[in-house]
Every structure is written in C-alpha cells, then in structure tokens.
Amino acid sequence: MSTPDANPLLRAWSTPYGLPPFAETRPEHYAPAFEQAFAQHIAELRAIEQSTAVPSFANTIVAFDRAGWLFNRLNDMFGNLTAAETNPELQKVELALVPKIAAHESAIYMNAALFARIDVVKHSPEAKSLSREDSRLLNRIHFDFVRQGAKIAAESRDRYAANVAKLAELTTQFAQNVLKDESDWALWLSKDSDFAGLSASQRDAAKAAAAERGKPGGAAITLSRSSVVPFLTFSERRDLREQAFNALISRGTHEGASDNRALAVEILKLRAEQAKLHGYKTFADYALVDRMAKTPAAARELLMKAWVPAAAKMNDDEAALDAMRMSHGQAEPLAKWDWRFYAEKVHKARFDLDDAEVKPYFELNAMIRAMFGVAEKLFGLSFEEKNGLSLYHPDARLFEVKRGDALVGIFISDNFARPTKQGGAWMSAYRSQTKNTASGAVIPIVGNHNNFSKPPEGQPALLTFDDVRTLFHEFGHGLHALLSNVSYEKLSGTNVLQDYVELPSQLYEHWALEESVLTEYARHYQTHEPIPASLIERIRAAANFNKAYETVEYTSSALVDLAVHERETYESFDLVDFERDELTRLGMPARGKMMHRLPHFRHLFSGDSYAAGYYVYMWAEVLDADAFDAFLEAGNSFDAATAKRLHDFVYSAGDSIEPADGYRAFRGRDASVEPMLKKRGLIEA
C-alpha cells in the first residue's frame, strides 16, 4: 500500500481551495489510493454497524452520510478526469478499477447489519419527530439500501453483487468504445471545393481540430457536435455530408474492438436480471419507481403528446425542404444528410438569418460574462477568475463564486472539444456542498464541460445560438450545485430525482434569449456594437423553426429507450433490428433520425442514471416552461420575489424538499404541459 508521502492522493490536499492534486497525480496512483479509501470507508461503516448504542438518527443516519470522505473525493476526481481528460493509461486503470468501486458500493448496501440499524431508525418513534430535511435523509438512505439490494434474498446476494460489478465494467467499456470511434474518425478537408459553404469561422475551427489531432496546417471535421452539425448544416458538398452523417450515426456499430452492439445486449440482460431480483417485471418498472413519473406508462404518455404533433409537422415541413432542394437543382430525393442543409436554406429564406450573421455577437468570453451576469441579477452572485492555478488541462479556467464577501463555491469552466474528452456537455462536481463534516461546512467545487470548436491561437471562439443555450444549460446545473445549502451531502445540489435535475438547467436557458441580457452582453467581437434589436427579433421569431425535427430526434430516442428497457427477455435479441422495428411501429418520418442510436447511446449504456429515463428532459421541460412563465406573469424576467422563491425552493434546496412540493412552493401550483408544447411550436401560442 502506498504511503501518504509517496502518493499525492493520500496526502492532505493542500492545494488552493482543496482542489485535487492534478499536476502531481499519475495513473498508477489511483489503485493504491482507492484501496486505502475502501479500507477507511469500511472501517467508518463498521464503527456504525458494531455500535452498542441504540440506533438513532445521529449515531446511524448522520454518521452514514459523513462516512467515506476519502472515497468520495477520490471517486469524484477519478470520474471527472476519465471523462474530461483521459489517456490510454488512465483508461486501463479505469477498466480495472470500476468493478472494484462498484463492488465496494454494492457491499455497503448489501450489509445486513448496517441496514438493520437503519431500518430500526426508520421505524422508530424518533423518525416521526424529525425535521423535514432530516426525514428526507433518513428516507433517502433507507430507500437506497432497498434499491441497491438490502432486501435481496440471501441466496441471491452473491449473484446480485457480481451483476453490479459486471455492469460497471461493461458500461465503462461502452463509453470508451464510443470515445474511440469519435476520436479515431475525422473527415479531412484538403481541396478548396471541400470547404464549399463553410464560413470563415467554421474553416478556422476545422483547422484547429486538425492541429488538435497532430496535423497543423490541415483541416478536419470531427464527430464533436459543434463540428459535425455545422458541417451538415452548411457544407455544399453533398457527398461529404453523407460521409459525415453516416459516421455520426454508425458510432458503436463497427466490427472490431469498439463494437457496442453485443455489449449493450449484455448490459440489458444484466439489468433485466437485476430488476427481477428486486421483484420487478422489467428494468423500466424498477428504474421509474425512483423518478417523478413513477411508471413507464406515465413517461410514455407525456412523450406521445409531443411525438404525435411533431411527427405530423415534420412531414409537413418536408414539403418546404423538398421545394428548396428542387430550386437548388438537386435531382436526387431528399436524404437524411440533406435535412439540416435545406432546413438552413429555408430558415435563411424565411427569417433572413444565418450563423455567419449571428456568431460574431456570441463570443465565448462575452457569453460566459452573460451567464454570470444573470446569476448576479437573480441570486446576488459574483465571479472572479483566478489564474496561475494547476488544473487538469490548459483549457480549464477557475472562478471564485461569492455572495458579498462570502465564498459560495468554486467553478471550473472547460469549454473546448479535444480527443481526450468525451463528447456532449455535462456538469459534475469535484466536491459537493455539505455541513456534515468533522471540520465544518464544505463549499462545492463544480465543473462545466462543453465541446465547442476551439479556434486557432489568437482568434476568438464564436458560438452558434445553440452553443449559447448549451453554455447556459450546463451552468444551470452548475448553479444547482453551487447554490446548494443543505446539511447533508446525500441531499446536496443535483442529488435529486432524475426527472427533476434538468429543471434548473433547462430553466436557465430562457435567460439566454432575454433581450436585456443580449443587449448588454451580445456585442460584435470586432466593433463592440450591441446586437441589433431587429436581429434579436429574428432570432426569437426563428426559435421554433425546425423544432418538429428536433422533437422527433429527441422523443424517438426517449421512446426507444423506454421500449428496450420494458422487455422481459433479451434472448436472440438484435439491438439494431429492435431499434429499426420500434421506429417503424412509432411511424418515424422517412427523413427523421434518432438523436442517439442505441449502439452509441451513452446516456443509457455508459451508466444507468438515464436508463429507461431519457424522457426526463421533456418531463423537466414541462416544469421549466411553466416556471419561466412565473417571471413573465410577474412582468419582469428578473423579478426579485420570484427569483427568491426559485432560489429557496429549487436551486438551493437540493433533495431536502420532495420535488413536487418544492415546485409548488415556488410556483403556487402544479405545472401545466401547455407552455412546453407552445415553446416547441406544437400548439398555438
């Protein structure tokens, strides 16, 4: 076992703000550090389990929440780096460690003696007199033990624990396979004709992507969304659009080491067995018990309210795109790789709006100031960048977050795509807010990770408006963690039900389109002139354009997710055939596509947080559209009283309040679905 002197992970983290020791840590440090963290955590739990005192909230539940500080901080650091800045050596360590981490966590929740003490507290007279937050903690911990196998029959426990460990290994391999397909593929642009239709900033981004891949002077389109989607939207080279589109949708389906098709089926089989050991018919039934929807039927009912009008409207929209195709002299029928290209042409014709006009007003640093400015107006926060700190990558930037003179948290902003970083955008924490420690209150360290195209050295990063919304979205998650003000780590920040966790993030997107925000921060990166009111109006007018296509992309993915996890058996099951047949049954429009096909659907198969739960974005969208209406009804998008309720009952509350109760406390009633359908242009506003 490594000694503290030899292993930086086991020494006191004397870095500024208690940051992880990024610069000193090497892949070989993790395994011995985790072994010591496992042992320390087990010793802390054994002290609870073997106590001779009568089980109480303080000596059992509070003690359980406090245990495992070393394990938690290592796990947070390790999980963040394997997603944000990995390498082959770290990936090998990851594959070896994740089953051990899963086994450690499983052993905790299968500990019969520990659960017995928790169960005593749950059914004790003391439980009836606890405060709301204390009661939430007790019920959450008890529920988690049950869901993680505490009541599994003794003869099935070894099998269940092996299942959990194997799932951890397979889901890690799934994620690594997708990253490999994304990192290995690039569309290299060499001739002048290869760049036809691309703006200067898109050409610069392609050159920067090539440099990132070790080919300075070249130009590449990658499978990062901020690279491939603009290419599919603007490139006049139909043959190259087809190549890029097929590469995008075929991730995880290539014969060889990165093929995810059989791997995903093995994950599905293990999940089905896991659900049955808990007494549920399917994994979907098991998963949704711990979500606001409660049942697959309730989730499907909401999705179908959007799917039916969206599919019909997309079929109607196709006529306009087809007319545009013919006007441009394309003899071949409209194909899936043509949709974004001709949608942009129709968009330009209807709204006189394109990215070349919009992007100069959305420079990344200015938009970071904008998202900070909104948080200042809503919640009284200030942000100050601190330079010269040792972080995990030069692109990562650190900000102190304060309210007045008080330090609220630390925010790390990491915005550019690179081959060592998984795709998509996400928020995560290096440390969660809690007051339940031996040394007192702990402030959070929160990271936002985006995948915007990095410009060449010395040039500004210009964003599409979709990029701006992504920036605001992830910062909404960040604020949910930064503003957390609860007693217990288990209830802190984003540790809420999965279909509620997207409310703070999706709601925050609304301020990205507020005129006062755009007028103040959206300034031309060269002239510094504010964005014209007429351009804001056109951006707003175009907001619902192509929403039917986007809704079809999303809802088809969510509906297929539910369907594949509602199966009872996966014998002789073909993942791709099932996906195709389910889309046919739903009536997928001919030119429609899933946002994420099953073989590369990281939300579902790189972990189980969103498995049978991809619907949660739309469930939360019902809440966020209705929530923003509260500000509109108050007559001010920064109304102080509404913002205070939002802060108190949503952003700072964590899981200390039951989600439906928290929303009612903020809004005064339950949410209505109509604002979401209007926002998507699926019913009349």
Q: What is the pLDDT of residues 64-80, one digit of tens each?
A: 999 999 999 999 999 99
Query: Mind listing the pLDDT tens digit for each residue in 315-370?
Result: 889 999 999 999 999 999 999 999 999 999 999 999 998 888 999 999 999 999 99
E strand or H helix at 450: strand 445-452
Provide the CA 422 distance to its chain's centre, in angstroms.
12
Provide the CA 75 distance to its chain's centre, in angstroms.
18
Annotated catalytic residue, options 318, 474, 502, 579: 474
Please, where are the H alpha helices in 443-501? 465-482
- Longest CA span, the chain: 83
Q: What is the mean pLDDT of residues 410-433?
A: 96
Cβ proximity of 218 and 210 under 8 Å:
yes
- Give the sign of the dihedral formed by CA 632, CA 478, CA 462, CA 210: negative
Of 2-16, 28-42, 182-196, the least confident: 2-16
Query: Mind listing the pLDDT tens digit for each residue in 650-675?
Result: 999 999 999 999 999 999 999 999 99
Q: What is the mean pLDDT of residues 236-247?
A: 98
Note if 105 is an active site residue. no
pLDDT given for residue 353 in this prediction: 87
Query: Mind listing the pLDDT tens digit for each residue in 130-173?
Result: 999 999 999 999 999 999 999 999 899 999 999 999 999 999 99
Domain 360-541: give its CATH architecture. Orthogonal Bundle (1.10)
DSSP 8-state assignment for residue 637: T
CB atoms within 10 A of CB 408: 22
612 by Cβ neighbours in 10 Å (0-12 / 13-18 / 19+) ranks as buried
Query: Mind listing the pLDDT tens digit for each residue in 611-620?
Result: 999 999 999 9
Quote the CA–CA distance of 336 and 317 in Å, as a whole number.
14
Cβ proximity of 474 and 427 under 8 Å:
yes
pLDDT given for residue 4 in this prediction: 60
Helix (H, G, I), strand (E, B) or coil at 608: coil
Of 2-6, 189-193, 538-542, the least confident: 2-6
Confidence at 1, pLDDT banded by 50, 70, 90: very low
The pTM assigned to this predicted structure is: 0.90
Segments making up each domain of the chain, as ranges: 185-249, 271-353+554-609, 360-541
Flag whether pLDDT at 2 surpasses 60: no
E strand or H helix at 163: helix 157-184
What letter represents residue 409's amino acid? Answer: G
Flag whether pLDDT at 83 surpasses 80: yes
Query: Mind listing the pLDDT tens digit for each residue in 539-548?
Result: 988 888 999 9
In this structure, which long-range contacts are made by residues 64-68, counting pairs with CB atoms below 8 Å and at least 24 apart in sequence?
A: 64/114, 64/118, 64/141, 65/137, 65/141, 65/434, 65/436, 65/488, 65/489, 65/490, 66/436, 66/437, 66/438, 66/489, 67/41, 68/37, 68/40, 68/41, 68/44
